[in-house]
Amino acid sequence: MNKVALITGATSGIGKATALKAAEAGFNIIITGRRSDRLEQLAREIQEKGVEVLPLHFDIRQQTAVQQAIENLTGNWRNIAVLVNNAGLAVGVSPIQEGVLDDWERMIDTNIKGLLYITRAVAPLMIANNAGHIVNLASIAGKEVYPGGNVYCATKHAVDALSKAMRTDMLKHNIKVTNIAPGMVETEFSIVRYKGDEEAARNVYKGMTPLTNEDIADTILFAITRPPHVCLNDIVIMPTAQANSRDVNKI
Protein backbone atom coordinates (compact mmCIF):
# COMPACT_ATOMS: atom_id res chain seq x y z
CA MET A 1 0.00 0.00 0.00
CA ASN A 2 1.31 3.49 -0.88
CA LYS A 3 2.33 5.80 1.95
CA VAL A 4 0.22 8.94 2.46
CA ALA A 5 1.72 12.45 2.35
CA LEU A 6 -0.34 15.49 3.38
CA ILE A 7 0.90 18.79 1.94
CA THR A 8 -0.63 22.08 3.11
CA GLY A 9 -0.68 25.06 0.77
CA ALA A 10 -0.52 22.90 -2.34
CA THR A 11 -2.31 25.34 -4.67
CA SER A 12 0.90 27.18 -5.54
CA GLY A 13 4.67 27.33 -5.35
CA ILE A 14 6.61 24.97 -3.11
CA GLY A 15 3.54 23.02 -1.96
CA LYS A 16 2.36 22.31 -5.49
CA ALA A 17 5.80 21.15 -6.69
CA THR A 18 6.17 18.97 -3.59
CA ALA A 19 2.76 17.35 -4.13
CA LEU A 20 3.62 16.52 -7.75
CA LYS A 21 7.07 15.14 -6.92
CA ALA A 22 5.74 13.11 -3.98
CA ALA A 23 3.11 11.63 -6.33
CA GLU A 24 5.87 10.71 -8.80
CA ALA A 25 7.69 9.01 -5.92
CA GLY A 26 4.60 6.85 -5.28
CA PHE A 27 2.93 8.55 -2.31
CA ASN A 28 -0.84 8.89 -2.15
CA ILE A 29 -1.41 12.60 -1.65
CA ILE A 30 -3.67 14.79 0.48
CA ILE A 31 -3.53 18.39 -0.77
CA THR A 32 -4.95 21.41 1.07
CA GLY A 33 -5.55 25.08 0.36
CA ARG A 34 -8.23 27.75 0.06
CA ARG A 35 -8.48 28.01 -3.75
CA SER A 36 -10.69 25.04 -4.59
CA ASP A 37 -10.42 25.43 -8.39
CA ARG A 38 -6.65 25.08 -8.18
CA LEU A 39 -6.95 22.16 -5.75
CA GLU A 40 -9.25 20.29 -8.15
CA GLN A 41 -6.93 20.98 -11.11
CA LEU A 42 -3.90 19.73 -9.15
CA ALA A 43 -5.86 16.67 -8.01
CA ARG A 44 -6.42 15.76 -11.67
CA GLU A 45 -2.69 16.18 -12.44
CA ILE A 46 -1.75 14.00 -9.48
CA GLN A 47 -4.27 11.31 -10.46
CA GLU A 48 -2.67 11.11 -13.89
CA LYS A 49 0.52 10.00 -12.14
CA GLY A 50 -1.26 6.80 -11.03
CA VAL A 51 -1.60 7.47 -7.30
CA GLU A 52 -4.62 8.36 -5.16
CA VAL A 53 -5.35 11.96 -4.23
CA LEU A 54 -7.65 13.67 -1.75
CA PRO A 55 -8.16 17.44 -1.98
CA LEU A 56 -9.16 19.10 1.32
CA HIS A 57 -10.46 22.64 1.04
CA PHE A 58 -10.08 24.78 4.16
CA ASP A 59 -8.51 27.93 5.53
CA ILE A 60 -5.75 26.73 7.85
CA ARG A 61 -6.52 29.63 10.21
CA GLN A 62 -9.92 28.06 11.02
CA GLN A 63 -9.16 25.59 13.81
CA THR A 64 -12.54 23.84 13.67
CA ALA A 65 -12.32 23.37 9.90
CA VAL A 66 -8.81 21.93 10.21
CA GLN A 67 -9.81 19.57 13.00
CA GLN A 68 -12.95 18.37 11.19
CA ALA A 69 -11.10 17.79 7.92
CA ILE A 70 -8.62 15.48 9.67
CA GLU A 71 -11.25 13.82 11.89
CA ASN A 72 -13.32 13.00 8.79
CA LEU A 73 -10.49 11.08 7.12
CA THR A 74 -11.34 7.43 6.59
CA GLY A 75 -9.51 4.21 5.81
CA ASN A 76 -5.90 4.42 4.73
CA TRP A 77 -6.06 8.23 4.48
CA ARG A 78 -5.71 8.24 8.28
CA ASN A 79 -2.27 6.61 8.00
CA ILE A 80 -0.49 9.89 7.26
CA ALA A 81 3.21 9.10 6.95
CA VAL A 82 4.39 12.59 5.99
CA LEU A 83 2.97 16.00 6.94
CA VAL A 84 4.49 18.92 5.02
CA ASN A 85 3.61 22.11 6.90
CA ASN A 86 4.04 24.45 3.96
CA ALA A 87 1.03 26.84 3.94
CA GLY A 88 2.30 30.28 4.84
CA LEU A 89 2.83 33.81 3.71
CA ALA A 90 4.47 37.18 4.20
CA VAL A 91 2.29 40.28 3.95
CA GLY A 92 3.83 43.75 3.78
CA VAL A 93 7.31 45.18 4.31
CA SER A 94 6.53 48.04 6.71
CA PRO A 95 8.86 48.89 9.57
CA ILE A 96 7.41 47.91 12.93
CA GLN A 97 6.24 51.43 13.82
CA GLU A 98 4.14 51.57 10.64
CA GLY A 99 3.00 47.95 10.72
CA VAL A 100 -0.48 47.06 9.47
CA LEU A 101 -2.23 45.08 12.19
CA ASP A 102 -4.24 43.01 9.74
CA ASP A 103 -1.01 41.96 7.97
CA TRP A 104 0.45 40.90 11.31
CA GLU A 105 -2.66 38.89 12.22
CA ARG A 106 -2.66 37.09 8.85
CA MET A 107 0.98 36.05 9.21
CA ILE A 108 0.72 34.99 12.84
CA ASP A 109 -2.59 33.16 12.31
CA THR A 110 -1.37 31.30 9.21
CA ASN A 111 2.34 30.68 9.79
CA ILE A 112 2.19 29.85 13.50
CA LYS A 113 -1.37 29.06 14.56
CA GLY A 114 -2.37 27.28 11.34
CA LEU A 115 0.76 25.12 11.47
CA LEU A 116 -0.03 24.28 15.09
CA TYR A 117 -3.70 23.44 14.37
CA ILE A 118 -2.91 20.90 11.68
CA THR A 119 0.03 19.42 13.54
CA ARG A 120 -2.20 18.98 16.61
CA ALA A 121 -4.75 17.11 14.47
CA VAL A 122 -2.29 14.91 12.55
CA ALA A 123 0.32 14.06 15.19
CA PRO A 124 -1.97 11.66 17.15
CA LEU A 125 -2.56 9.68 13.93
CA MET A 126 1.20 9.31 13.46
CA ILE A 127 1.68 8.41 17.11
CA ALA A 128 -0.90 5.63 16.74
CA ASN A 129 1.32 4.17 14.00
CA ASN A 130 4.55 4.79 15.94
CA ALA A 131 5.92 6.33 12.72
CA GLY A 132 5.81 9.54 10.75
CA HIS A 133 7.68 12.54 9.42
CA ILE A 134 6.78 16.20 9.91
CA VAL A 135 8.44 18.69 7.54
CA ASN A 136 8.12 22.34 8.54
CA LEU A 137 8.70 25.12 5.99
CA ALA A 138 10.55 27.73 8.00
CA SER A 139 12.88 30.14 6.20
CA ILE A 140 16.22 31.93 6.32
CA ALA A 141 13.87 34.53 7.89
CA GLY A 142 13.64 32.08 10.80
CA LYS A 143 17.41 32.30 11.33
CA GLU A 144 18.03 36.01 10.67
CA VAL A 145 16.11 39.29 10.47
CA TYR A 146 16.13 42.08 7.86
CA PRO A 147 14.56 45.53 7.47
CA GLY A 148 10.78 45.30 7.04
CA GLY A 149 10.82 41.58 7.82
CA ASN A 150 9.89 41.99 11.51
CA VAL A 151 6.68 39.99 12.02
CA TYR A 152 7.28 37.57 9.13
CA CYS A 153 10.74 36.84 10.59
CA ALA A 154 9.17 36.39 14.03
CA THR A 155 6.69 33.83 12.68
CA LYS A 156 9.49 31.89 10.97
CA HIS A 157 11.66 32.03 14.11
CA ALA A 158 8.62 30.49 15.82
CA VAL A 159 8.49 27.72 13.21
CA ASP A 160 12.21 27.08 13.73
CA ALA A 161 11.63 26.80 17.49
CA LEU A 162 8.58 24.58 16.98
CA SER A 163 10.61 22.21 14.79
CA LYS A 164 13.09 21.75 17.63
CA ALA A 165 10.31 21.40 20.20
CA MET A 166 8.34 18.92 18.09
CA ARG A 167 11.46 16.82 17.58
CA THR A 168 11.78 16.51 21.33
CA ASP A 169 8.10 15.70 21.91
CA MET A 170 7.97 13.24 19.00
CA LEU A 171 11.22 11.46 19.89
CA LYS A 172 9.69 8.58 21.82
CA HIS A 173 7.05 8.12 19.11
CA ASN A 174 9.62 7.46 16.37
CA ILE A 175 8.50 10.53 14.41
CA LYS A 176 11.04 12.57 12.43
CA VAL A 177 10.91 16.37 12.25
CA THR A 178 12.73 18.23 9.48
CA ASN A 179 13.04 22.02 9.38
CA ILE A 180 13.55 23.50 5.90
CA ALA A 181 14.95 27.05 5.74
CA PRO A 182 15.12 28.40 2.19
CA GLY A 183 16.38 31.76 1.02
CA MET A 184 14.77 33.47 -1.99
CA VAL A 185 12.43 31.19 -3.95
CA GLU A 186 10.46 32.70 -6.85
CA THR A 187 6.82 31.64 -6.37
CA GLU A 188 3.69 33.69 -5.67
CA PHE A 189 5.31 34.57 -2.32
CA SER A 190 6.41 38.10 -3.27
CA ILE A 191 3.17 38.84 -5.15
CA VAL A 192 1.33 38.07 -1.91
CA ARG A 193 3.85 40.04 0.16
CA TYR A 194 3.46 43.10 -2.12
CA LYS A 195 -0.34 42.67 -2.16
CA GLY A 196 -0.68 41.97 -5.88
CA ASP A 197 1.96 44.44 -7.13
CA GLU A 198 3.59 42.15 -9.70
CA GLU A 199 6.29 44.65 -10.67
CA ALA A 200 7.45 45.03 -7.06
CA ALA A 201 7.47 41.23 -6.82
CA ARG A 202 9.54 40.86 -10.00
CA ASN A 203 12.07 43.43 -8.71
CA VAL A 204 12.81 41.22 -5.71
CA TYR A 205 14.49 38.69 -8.02
CA LYS A 206 15.78 41.11 -10.70
CA GLY A 207 19.50 40.67 -11.47
CA MET A 208 19.90 37.36 -9.65
CA THR A 209 18.83 33.74 -10.06
CA PRO A 210 16.51 32.70 -7.23
CA LEU A 211 15.67 29.16 -6.18
CA THR A 212 12.63 27.53 -7.77
CA ASN A 213 9.75 25.70 -6.12
CA GLU A 214 11.17 22.52 -7.68
CA ASP A 215 14.54 23.03 -5.95
CA ILE A 216 12.77 23.02 -2.59
CA ALA A 217 10.50 20.13 -3.55
CA ASP A 218 13.57 18.07 -4.54
CA THR A 219 15.07 18.81 -1.11
CA ILE A 220 11.87 17.79 0.69
CA LEU A 221 11.66 14.58 -1.36
CA PHE A 222 15.27 13.75 -0.46
CA ALA A 223 14.49 14.29 3.23
CA ILE A 224 11.34 12.16 3.26
CA THR A 225 12.89 9.26 1.39
CA ARG A 226 15.87 8.65 3.72
CA PRO A 227 16.02 5.28 5.51
CA PRO A 228 14.02 4.95 8.78
CA HIS A 229 17.10 5.52 10.98
CA VAL A 230 18.09 8.82 9.27
CA CYS A 231 16.53 12.22 10.02
CA LEU A 232 17.68 15.47 8.37
CA ASN A 233 16.98 17.91 11.21
CA ASP A 234 17.57 21.31 9.65
CA ILE A 235 18.28 22.26 6.05
CA VAL A 236 19.30 25.79 5.01
CA ILE A 237 19.09 26.12 1.22
CA MET A 238 20.04 29.34 -0.55
CA PRO A 239 20.44 30.59 -4.10
CA THR A 240 24.15 30.75 -5.00
CA ALA A 241 23.64 34.51 -5.40
CA GLN A 242 22.41 34.96 -1.81
CA ALA A 243 24.79 34.70 1.16
CA ASN A 244 22.25 35.58 3.86
CA SER A 245 19.07 37.63 4.32
CA ARG A 246 20.79 40.90 3.40
CA ASP A 247 23.64 40.08 1.00
CA VAL A 248 22.42 39.30 -2.51
CA ASN A 249 24.71 39.45 -5.55
CA LYS A 250 22.59 41.38 -8.05
CA ILE A 251 24.09 42.08 -11.46
> Which H, E and C letters describe the chain, residue by residue?
CCCEEEECCCCCHHHHHHHHHHHHCCCEEEEEECCHHHHHHHHHHHHCCCCCEEEEECCCCCHHHHHHHHHCCCHHHHCEEEEEECCCCCCCCCCHHHCCHHHHHHHHHHHHHHHHHHHHHHHHHHHHHCCEEEEEECCHHHCCCCCCCHHHHHHHHHHHHHHHHHHHHHHHHCEEEEEEEECCECCCHHHHHCCCCHHHHHHHHCCCCCECHHHHHHHHHHHHCCCCCCCCCEEEECCCCECCCCCECCC
State which residue, 102 or 128, has the beta carbon closest to ligand NDP: 102
Q: Does position 215 bind ligand NDP by CB under 6 A?
A: no
Q: Does position 175 bind ligand 8X3 by CB under 6 A?
A: no
Q: Does position 11 bind ligand NDP by CB under 6 A?
A: yes
Q: Does position 14 bind ligand NDP by CB under 6 A?
A: yes
173 touches, from ligand 8X3, ligand NDP, none (C-beta below 5 to 8 Å by class): none
Q: Does position 219 bind ligand 8X3 by CB under 6 A?
A: no
Site for ligand 8X3 in 135-174 (CB under 6 A): 139-141, 149
In whole angstroms, what is the distance from residue 85 CA to residue 88 CA?
9
Q: Which of 117, 152, 194, 205 is catalytic?
A: 152
Q: Min. distance of Cβ 155 from ligand 8X3 in angstroms? A: 10
Question: What binding mask, one character per residue, do residues 75-104 give for ligand NDP by CB under 6 A, x or -?
Answer: -----------xxxx---------------
For the question of residue 152 being annotated catalytic, the response is: yes
Which of 151, 133, 153, 152 has the alpha carbon at shortest distance from 143? 153
Question: What binding mask, one character per residue, do residues 5-44 give for ligand 8X3 by CB under 6 A, x or -?
Answer: ----------------------------------------
With vertex at residue 218, the alpha carbon angle to CA 242 and CA 206, rounded to the nearest 5 degrees, is 30
220 touches, from ligand 8X3, ligand NDP, none (C-beta below 5 to 8 Å by class): none
Q: Does position 239 bind ligand NDP by CB under 6 A?
A: no
Residues with active-site annotation: 152
Binding site for ligand 8X3 (CB under 6 A): 139-141, 149, 183-184, 245
Residues that bind ligand NDP (CB under 6 A): 9-15, 33-35, 59-61, 86-89, 110, 114, 137, 139, 182, 184-185, 187-189, 192, 213
